[in-house]
Amino acid sequence: MKEPAARLRAAVLGTGKIGMDLAERLSKSGVLECALIVGRAPTSPGLHRAAELGLTTMAGGITTFVEAQERFDVVFDASNAAVHTAHWDALAATGAVLVDLTPSSTGTHVVPTVNGDQAARASRHFNMISCGGQTAIPVLHAIATTCAPTYAEVVATAATASTGRGTRLNIDEYIATTQAAVRELTGAPRVKALLNLSPAQPEPPFRVQVTVLAPDARPEPVRAAVQAAADRVRAFAPAYTVTSCTVAGERIDVALEITAHSSHIPAYAGNLDIINAAAVHTAERAAALTREGAALWTR
């Protein structure tokens, strides 16, 4: 009987909600294992929680991580956009695949159901865009296969409690990166992205409203394409839900909602759930292609 392939070693940079949820997801992966959690300060609550869970931890951030000269197949960057470029510069020579969960827009923009396989064959530096981008772009891309959008709008609403300091510091980058990725992956010439942080109690689930203008929109093809796109996303993010889809003349409106299922993030933090699910799925696919000898890392 053929022995199962060894799981590939993954490291997570960042000890916040995203980093801890990534560690949990990796513990359930048949392809990757969480071999290290890296934080900046030794007093980080996240590092302490990770150690309690039996995970190997390291303080000192990217400098200590690189100096340790340990080999990792995949590194997930769950820090912030301002430092991601320095992280890539430090890690590029190691040969590790880098999966960027910040809106830095410095790697290959990846949405698994849109360009996941193509990106995995051509790059080892992936940018997961944003939570809003991962939610909206599968639907926007599907709509664009049925008509020719002239305008696309993405309005995401997340509970304030589900966003950390890094997200709030990166709102400008979030908007710019989301807009750039929507243009790139849907072909819409005019794009607007907005992010609302809601302090409401109880906390609302993560919701994304997509609006498209397309003179040649037809209701039935649009609805069928949207549902098919949602089904593909649910293969790795089961809580991805289309709550409404309407087509009136040239205007298309789609409402999307995601709840989280994790011991490290609350149910309303669907924004964290979708980007982490997409990141792990992308890394697993890249690893599988590498094992098959189908990937050629060129960037």
Q: Which residues are catalytic?
A: 131
Amino acid at 51: A
Torsion of CA 223, 226, 232, 234, to 10 degrees: -100
Q: Which residues neighbour 43 within 8 Å (Cβ) at sequence distance 6 or greater?
A: none
As a whole number of angstroms, the distance between CA 76 and CA 19 comes to 8
Indicate left, alpha or beta for 165 from its phi (over 0: left) and psi (-120 to 50: alpha). alpha
State the amino acid at position 48 in one-letter form.
H
Residue 254 DSSP code: E
Alpha helices (runs of H) in 171-267, residue ranges in sequence order: 171-186, 219-233
Strands 74-77 and 8-13: parallel
